[in-house]
Amino acid sequence: MRHRFRPFAALAALALIAGFVLVTPAAQAAPRVETGPTAQQLLDAVSNCDQISNGTYETDEGEGGDVPVCQTDGAVFYTADMDIDCDGQRTTQCNEDTDCCFYPDTAFHTSDDQPLNAAELPYIVLPSPSGTWDYGDYGLDGGSVVAIVYNGHVEYAVVGDTGPTGIIGEASYAAASGLGIDPDPSTGGTDGPVTYIVFPGSSVDPIEDHGAAVSVGEQYANDLVAAHR
């Protein structure tokens, strides 16, 4: 029987003899293991609303306000719809042609002082401070980490922009896409329910580091769930 020479097997044997650990191509390409809680565990942890907003928000202009901002031990949260934010850097997905209301800036900037890229970075939009609610009073700022829960899925993101003082429920093109929501700024979004869980005191620096947002978000999310068991 003729045996085929396998170069990688020979290298592995030599590495073993020499006392080295050889990383295989399969190991290099191993998928990331999710370590955060499930969507349902997060929803259970924020099932009771201690309202901190002075009144409620509209999800869309002129449709009436019925969304309170709530607080629980370890999180600020609200449940609303999701409109698509495509502001910031001009991209194929986000520009004046694809979005009638496109604005080439975001409230918070990247580490090199550029607007955020809504097509690439999952982020949410918080209402600008007002008499209804001021996010800064509750330990939140640009770069604060968020767990967005929709239809059994969890997407980790950051606070990346601010919007109208009376409207809530908006996230970037990338955030919507990651949750399986149509991200088109003209026709996309969802009526929800979408639950946004923001972790006071958390921070990602640089703000554009999505991998860090996932890692930090999972840690805070696990702590939140543990505190509400």
Please write the tens of the pLDDT for every residue from 74-93.
Answer: 999 999 999 999 999 999 99
Q: Which of 72, 97, 75, 70 is nearest to 86 (CA)?
A: 97
Residue 23 pLDDT: 40
Q: Collapsing DSSP states into helix, strand and coil, what is residue 158?
A: strand
C-alpha 88/C-alpha 171 separation (Å) is 13
Of all residues in the chain, the percent with pLDDT exceeding 70 is 85
Q: Which CATH superfamily is domain 35-227 in?
A: RlpA-like domain (2.40.40.10)
Write out the DSSP string of 28-80: HTPPPPP-SPPHHHHHHHT-S-EE-SSS-EESSTTS-EEE--EEETTEEEEEE
pLDDT at 2: 39
Question: pLDDT tens, 36-68?
Answer: 999 999 999 999 999 999 999 999 988 777 999
Residue 80: closest CA among 136, 139, 149, 133: 149
Give the integer Cα–Cα distance in Å for 200 and 77: 10
CA–CA separation, 8 and 122 (whole Å): 40
Q: Please give the model's pTM, rounded to 2 decimal places.
A: 0.85
Q: What's the CA gap between 92 and 133, in Å, rounded?
A: 35
Q: Are 156 and 79 in contact (CB under 8 A)?
A: no
Instruction: Spell out the residues 6+ positions from residue 66 whose beta carbon is closer than 8 angstroms to its own.
Output: 56, 58
Copy the structure tokens of residue 25: 């191509």
d(CA 87, CA 64) in angstroms, rounded, equals 25
Residue 23: DSSP 8-state = P
User: Any idea where the domains of the chain sit in the sequence?
Assistant: 35-227
H helix count then E strand count, the chain: 5, 10
**Which parts of the chain are beta strand (E)?**
50-51, 57-58, 65-67, 70-72, 75-85, 123-127, 145-150, 153-163, 170-172, 190-198
Amino acid at 125: V
With bands split at pLDDT 50, 70 and 90, how would you rate the model's confidence at 32? low
Cα–Cα distances in angstroms (integers) from residue 113 to residues 24, 66, 116, 140, in the given order = 39, 36, 9, 20
Contact 219, 206 (CB under 8 A): no
pLDDT of residue 61: 87
